[in-house]
Structure 1
Amino acid sequence: MGVLWFLFVILAAGKALELKNQQYHQMPQLFQLDDYEKCLANGRGAFCLGSFNLVAPPNNRLFNVIQKISEERYNFNHTRIHRGYCVSSRCSDVEEVSLRRKFVKCVKNITQTHHGFDAKLSSLDYCKTSKTPPSRPIDGLDVAFIYFSGLILLMNVIGTIYDFARNPDHKPNRYLITWSLVESWKRLANSYESGNPRLTSLNPINGIKAFFMITIILAHAMFALHSSYIQNPQFMENASRLPLSTLFQNGYVIIQTFIMLSSFLLAYNLLINSEKDPKKGLTLRSLPRVIFNRIARSVTIDKPLIWRIARAV
């Protein structure tokens, strides 16, 4: 009897999933994106990108389904569709001079024809032709970013060459050896088993920090998928329900833990270093040096993010 109930539950779940998939694919596509490069390769090509809110008559069954699906925690908002159309080809039957009006009317016509919904423009990102100049020409900030990145790369090359060419019996130049990729890798991978036992005992904590850093990088990589035009949004929605996704959805907890561990290690190392010079001790004079070291270590990693934020302002 128990086996029969189990089979019944499995069949019911399968039917429910099949019904949900059927309803899902009846909805307007969340994202539609034409080939941008191919569109503008034509001398008369025009491309528009924008978002639209769906508008339906009262008590529309399909629209009620769309609203219900959109209200689920891990789903996209399917009442707002996103379109990137090659207006010159896809919307060639629309008689409008203005690219904006032609794009809006084209999306409305397609949505009305296939789904019976109206589409109201929510935001227009741009309309471009092959003759449209870049919306953001290269400015001083871009040039500074390129020079700064080139300087870091140049220092890495110089430091690595110096590391290979130097006499291993002589004490290396600490300013040049710092930029050596080989030396940096040795410091990263070395467990320092023969070093200070008070430092080596913290290796597990450093391992936890490394694990947290990997999850942070993965979480930020996932943001790109959720903020771009994707072919299969249902896959992303289902993936967000998996237990492993908990790490990404609660990333702020990991960040707080990471900050706490980093603060502990910083205080621990400061106390150990203060023992080397008891007369000097640990005073507020050490604070500027600690802050500068932290900025110097993080700016090379966060530089692309800082540049991106500055460009967005």
Structure 2
Amino acid sequence: MVKAPHEILHQIFRDDRSLTTAALRCVVGVAVQEVTLLKETSNDATSLPLESRIDSTLEAVIDGIRCTLAVEAQSEIDPDKEEDWPYQITYLHAKYRRPAAVLVVTNRVRVAEWARRTFVIKVPGLPSEVRTNLVVLGPDNVPLTRDLQQMKTNLDFSTFSTIVHGRSLHVADILETLERALSEIDPAVAAGHAAMITAGLVHPKAKEKWSDLMEAQNYDFEAYGVFADWKAQGKAEGKAEGKAEVILHILETRGVPLSDVGRQRVLSCTDNEQLLAWSTRAITATTEDELFA
């Protein structure tokens, strides 16, 4: 099952022209004036013998040109994506016969930097190659919205910005300001934004802070289905992620290297007993194999 934070990072772009326009303007080298159409299309990019599934696939009209955007939420470095993303672009271009691009959204700077690389497919000695560059949105290029008036003026982008900067040292102040902005608008509209933030936050302290702020509100989260049990789910995931972060911190402090696959294995684990076992081994382990033995 895909975790809620992953879902929110790409679903927030669906049917929201103003957010997509504002987000694209954050990227260096992008000169987008306006997105005038945005609707979801099939995210199944299956073509035997290759299989791929895109997080969200959107049909958009950008400055008068109809195109297809594959929106991918990425929380960790995944070498497999270096092959998936070029395939997604060529598949969507061939299927819809219009320009296509991949938009990667992440809440980690190191993942954003990795995704901005040029991915090259080339046979040595032959003058043929495929070069893929992505549109990447992360904490290092999405503006951090902290002003109350700015938040009230553009709540869609402020919600997105808050989720992307959910690991920021200033997240507590950001959440307090955003809660004030939501308290001054229609409760039904505010509930939608509050639900997205609840599902999109990943850092345990940020989730705890937002939970405390929401205790004073009376938002109807039942209308949002997946968010109905947000309190219990948030606390459980927060505890698990907190333990995972401790394990990674211990290994980093001791100078024990961990592969990207190993990091993802730790961060995606929700079994508290397994996390406890790994945290015990992290104190003495000298290799990744010893940690997962």
The TM-score, its normalising length taken from structure 2, stands at 0.22
Higher helix share: 1
The TM-score, its normalising length taken from structure 1, stands at 0.20
Which of the pair has the greater relative contact order for Cα pairs under 8 Å at 6+ separation? 1
